């Protein structure tokens, strides 16, 4: 069995594990969105990852992650929530790879999956930073911190 065959054959199990891990993470916005929505998003990301690994073309995944950054940022998701969702899928894929591929296939498989999702997380982070820099952060009101002091 090679990586592409594994990703095809174990799709449901990989997504099931990722969905359980995401639920266990108790992330505010993902908890509110619900299991069905979360599973659909994990499935979309899994399919893009599998397709990019198979085609050796990261462009669709990078485009998707930039769109996800815009959607999630606008919806008020914190970047750590979205990064965690990607991480739980990556961990599930890695677990299946390590348990089911021959030792001589592990380096390439981990490299392909890690490169794809690493580039995706990087695109997500860059897009979040760009979006955050376009929005004025609220100023800090420190007056309560210094109330009652003699100006020491």
**Section 130-138 average pLDDT:** 72
CATH number of the domain that 79 lies in? 1.10.490
Asked whether residue 152 carries a pLDDT value surpassing 90, the answer given is no
Distance from C-alpha of 74 to C-alpha of 114, rounded to nearest angstrom: 27
81 to each of 69, 75, 144, how far by Cα in Å? 11, 12, 31
Residue with tokens 């890695």: 94
The pLDDT value recorded for residue 115 is: 96
The residue segments making up the domain with residue 69 are 3-134
Q: Is residue 25 part of a domain?
A: yes
132 to each of 74, 81, 128, 152, how far by Cα in Å? 10, 15, 6, 36
Asked whether residue 145 carries a pLDDT value surpassing 50, the answer given is yes
R_g (Cα) of the chain, nearest Å: 19
Q: Is residue 17 part of a domain?
A: yes
**Section 83-109 average pLDDT:** 96
Per the rule left: phi > 0, alpha: psi between -120 and 50, beta: everything else, 6 is alpha
- Residue 120 tokens read as 């995706």
**Section 88-113 average pLDDT:** 96
SS3 (DSSP) at 48? helix
**pLDDT confidence band for 134 (50 / 70 / 90):** confident
Q: Is residue 142 part of a domain?
A: no
Distance from C-alpha of 31 to C-alpha of 44, rounded to nearest angstrom: 18
Distance from C-alpha of 122 to C-alpha of 7, rounded to nearest angstrom: 23
- Number of domains present in the structure of the chain: 1
Q: Is residue 18 part of a domain?
A: yes
Q: Is residue 140 part of a domain?
A: no
Sorted by sequence, the CB contacts under 8 Å of residue 78 that are 6+ apart come out as 28, 29
Q: Is residue 143 part of a domain?
A: no
Q: Is residue 149 part of a domain?
A: no
The pLDDT value recorded for residue 151 is: 54
Q: Is residue 144 part of a domain?
A: no
């Amino acid at each position: 069995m090679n990586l592409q065959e594994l990703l095809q054959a174990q799709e449901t199990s990989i997504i099931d594990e990722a969905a359980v891990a995401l639920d266990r993470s108790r992330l505010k916005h993902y908890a509110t969105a619900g299991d069905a929505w979360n599973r659909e998003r994990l499935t979309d990301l899994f399919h893009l990852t599998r397709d990019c690994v198979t085609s050796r073309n990261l462009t669709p995944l990078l485009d998707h992650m930039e769109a996800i950054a815009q959607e999630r940022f606008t919806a008020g998701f914190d970047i750590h929530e979205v990064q965690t969702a990607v991480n739980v899928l990556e961990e599930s894929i890695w677990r299946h790879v390590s348990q089911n591929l021959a030792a001589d296939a592990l380096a390439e498989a981990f490299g392909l999956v890690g490169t794809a999702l690493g580039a995706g997380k990087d695109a997500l982070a860059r897009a979040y930073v760009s979006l955050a820099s376009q929005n004025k952060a609220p100023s800090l009101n420190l007056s309560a911190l210094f109330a009652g002091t003699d100006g020491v």
